[in-house]
Amino acid sequence: MQKTNETINIPNTITVIRILLVPVFIIFITKNKLSSALIIFTIAGISDGLDGFFARCFKQQTYLGAYLDPIADKILLASAFVALAVLKILPGWIAVIVLSRDVLILLGIAILTVIDIKITIKPTIVSKFTTVAQLMTIFFTLLDPNFVKADLMRIFLYWGTAILTIISGLHYITIGCKILQNIDSIQ
């Protein structure tokens, strides 16, 4: 995979649009227009897949995109979990787990940056499954409560997402510790 320094391209534009959809999504949630929020969330989710597809197919992977894409995902998911938990549409404990993992990852990156350790931001397979589970959890939470078997699916998704999020967080902590151990052994 070869990344370029070019910043204005189709994948990065799609990612920026995804970020701009977040306030619209949150407004719909706070106005209790969950169907409209679901449509915006679905569009944002599809755009996440499209930006990656276009970046790979048209060889438009950029350094900016490597940072911007996961940030866009985090903004959308964190906003969704917080808004839905505050409005008691989603259990607060799952929002705490999701946000705690993200804060731990950001703290790890900040620590490595402060001590001048260069790292490549690249999601792990566990992280990718976690993101899919989090997206599905928000999607099913926004569905009409009268949807057949949606309640059972939500409970399954809440617990599955929580477990995957914890595993992913522990995985990133392990990676961070290994990086720090390698630095200590070099010095």
Give the pair of three-digit tokens for residue 141.
């939470």
Q: Given this model, what pLDDT does residue 185 score?
A: 63
Find the DSSP H helices in the chain: 10-30, 34-57, 63-86, 92-114, 125-142, 150-186
Q: Looking at residue 145, what is its pLDDT?
A: 60
Q: How many Å apart are CA 39 and CA 112, to the nearest integer?
A: 38
The HSE-up count of residue 167 (CA atoms within 13 Å, CB side) is 15
pLDDT of residue 37: 97
Which pair of tokens denotes residue 179? Answer: 């990086």
What pLDDT sits at residue 8? 84
pLDDT score at 2: 60
Q: Quick one: pLDDT at residue 118?
A: 84
How buried is residue 96: exposed, middle or buried, by Cβ count under 10 Å (0-12/13-18/19+)? Answer: middle
Distance CA 34, CA 32 (A): 6
pLDDT digits (tens, 9 = 90+) for 49-70: 899 899 889 988 888 888 899 8
| Under 8 Å between Cβ of 166 and 108 | no
Judge contact between 85 and 95, C-beta under 8 A: yes
- How many percent of the chain have pLDDT more than 70? 92
CA nearest to 134, candidates 161, 107, 164? 161
Asked if residue 118 lies in contact with residue 187, where contact means CB atoms within 8 angstroms, the answer is no
Q: What's the rounded Cα separation, in Å, for the pair 69 and 164?
A: 21
Please identify every stretch of the chain with a pLDDT value under 70, giving residue numbers as ranges. 1-5, 145-148, 184-187
Query: What residue ranges define each of the domains in the chain, with the CATH number in brackets?
Result: 10-186 (1.20.120.1760)
